[in-house]
Amino acid sequence: MIRDEPRGYVFRLKLEDVAARRVLDVTVRYHLLDEARRKRIAYDNQEPISNPLYQRRELLR
């Protein structure tokens, strides 16, 4: 991936899998440090290493 370039993602959903809710919650997170690596190097963080950047709720039709 190229830094600072916009990224697009396509997700295919089966409506029968989400029919009961008819809502899709989307959260994009920025990970400062992978959880597995954090454990491997024994980094005891005081602040979150994963922060939400974008949240949106979409009604499905």
Q: How far apart are the first and last CA of the chain?
A: 32
Single pTM value for the model: 0.50
Distance CA 35, CA 14 (A): 30
Residue-level pLDDT at 19? 63
Residue-level pLDDT at 17? 66
Residue-wise pLDDT for 5-52, tens only, equals 777 878 777 777 666 667 888 888 887 777 788 788 888 877 767 788
11 or 55, greater pLDDT: 55
Cβ-count burial 24-61 (b if 16+ within 10 Å, e if not): eeeeeeeeeeeeeeeeeeeeeeeeeeeeeeeeeeeeee
